[in-house]
A and B are shown apart, each in its own frame.
Chain A
Amino acid sequence: MEIPYTVKPRPDTGLYNAKVGIWLFLASEVILFGALFSAYILLRVGALDGVWPNIKNAWPHGLLNIPIGTFNTAVLITSSVTVVFAWAALKMNNFARFRICMVITIVCALGFLCIKSFEYNEKFTHYELRLKSGKAYTGHIEVNGKHPGFWDFGSIYNLARLETDKVEKVKFTADPPKAKPGEKHDESTPKHEVMEVATSDIAHLDAFIPRNHTFFAIYFLITALHGFHVLGGALVLAWFTFPGSKMWLTEPERFINRIEVGGLFWHFVDLVWIFLFPILYLL
Chain B
Amino acid sequence: MANAKTTSHGTSADQAHDHHHYEPGFWSKYIFSTDHKVIGIQYGITALVFLLFGFILMLLMRQQLAKPNQPIPVIGPILEKVLGTDMVNSGVMQADLYNAFGAMHGTIMVFLAIVPLAFGAFGNFVTPLQIGAPDMAFPRLNMASYWFYFLGGVVMLSSFFIPGGAAKSGWTSYSPLASIADMAHWVDGQTLWLIGMVLLISSSLLGAVNFITTIIQLRARGMSWMRLPFFVWAQLVTGFLLLLAFPPLEAAGIMQLVDNLFGTSFFLPTGLVVNGSQLPVSGGGSPLLWQHLFWFLGHPEVYVLILPAMGIVCEIIANNTRKPIWGYRSLVYSVLCVGFLSFIVWAHHMYLTGMGTKISTFFQTTTMMISIPSVIILTALFISLWGGSIRMNTPMLFALAFLPMFGIGGLTGLPLGLNATDIYLHDSYYVIGHFHYVVAPGTIFGLFAGIYYWFPKATGRFMNETLGKIHFWGSLLFMNLVFAPMFIQGMKGMSRRMYDGGATYAGNASVLGLNTFISHAAIGLAVFQIPFIINFFMSIRSGKKISSDNPWEATTLEWSTPTPPPHGNFIKEPVVYRGPYEYSVPGAAKDFSPQDQQA
Q: Report if A134 contacts B (CB, 8 A).
A: no
Q: Report if A24 contacts B (CB, 8 A).
A: yes
Please name all residues of chain A whose beta carbon is closer than 8 Å to the beta carbon of B569 when the two chains form the complex.
Answer: 1
Please name all residues of chain A whose beta carbon is closer than 8 Å to the beta carbon of B209 when the two chains form the complex.
Answer: 21, 24-25, 28
Please name all residues of chain B whose beta carbon is closer than 8 Å to the beta carbon of A48 when the two chains form the complex.
Answer: 270, 284
Q: Report if B281 contacts A (CB, 8 A).
A: yes
B99 to chain A, nearest CB (A): 27
Against B, the Cβ 8 Å flags (1 = close, 0 = not) of A13-32 are: 10111101100110111011
Are A27 and B243 touching (Cβ within 8 A)? yes
Are A46 and B258 touching (Cβ within 8 A)? no
Which of B139, B244, B286, B570 makes the CB contact (< 8 A) with A31?
A: B244
Give the most central of A10, A28, A32: most B CB within 10 Å. A28
Are B568 and A2 touching (Cβ within 8 A)? yes
Q: In the docked arrangement, what's the CA distance between A42 and B570, Å?
A: 53
Q: Report if B22 contacts A (CB, 8 A).
A: no
A211-B264 in contact given A32-B251, A42-B289 (Cβ < 8 Å): yes
Please name all residues of chain A whose beta carbon is closer than 8 Å to the beta carbon of B266 when the two chains form the complex.
Answer: 39, 43, 214, 217-218
Are A46 and B286 touching (Cβ within 8 A)? yes
Q: In the docked arrangement, what's the CA distance between A217 and B261, Å?
A: 12
- The A/B interface has a contact count, at CB < 8 Å, of 133
Are A47 and B284 touching (Cβ within 8 A)? yes
Are B134 and A1 touching (Cβ within 8 A)? yes
Which of A1, A36, A58 makes the CB contact (< 8 A) with B568?
A: A1
A210-B263 in contact given A21-B209, A27-B244, A31-B248 (Cβ < 8 Å): yes
Please name all residues of chain A whose beta carbon is closer than 8 Å to the beta carbon of B139 when the two chains form the complex.
Answer: 3
Please name all residues of chain A whose beta carbon is closer than 8 Å to the beta carbon of B296 when the two chains form the complex.
Answer: 35
Q: In the docked arrangement, what's the CA distance between A221 and B570, Å?
A: 48
Q: Report if B330 contacts A (CB, 8 A).
A: no
Binds A, one of B210-218, B317-325, B582-590: B210-218
Output the nearest chain B residue to A4 by Cβ-Cβ distance: B218
Output the nearest chain A residue to B263 by Cβ-Cβ distance: A211
Q: In the docked arrangement, what's the CA distance between A213 and B329, Å?
A: 53
Please name all residues of chain A whose beta carbon is closer than 8 Å to the beta carbon of B293 when the two chains form the complex.
Answer: 35, 38-39
Q: In the docked arrangement, what's the CA distance between A221 and B255, Å?
A: 8
Please name all residues of chain B whose beta carbon is closer than 8 Å to the beta carbon of A51 when the two chains form the complex.
Answer: 270, 282-284
Q: Report if A118 contacts B (CB, 8 A).
A: no
Q: Report if B26 contacts A (CB, 8 A).
A: no
Are B138 and A21 touching (Cβ within 8 A)? yes
14 contacts between A and B (CB under 8 A): A3-B134, A13-B217, A15-B217, A17-B218, A24-B209, A25-B205, A27-B243, A31-B244, A35-B251, A38-B293, A39-B251, A48-B270, A160-B280, A211-B265
Q: Nearest 7 CB-CB pairs, A to B? A: A211-B263, A1-B134, A32-B247, A217-B264, A35-B248, A35-B251, A31-B247
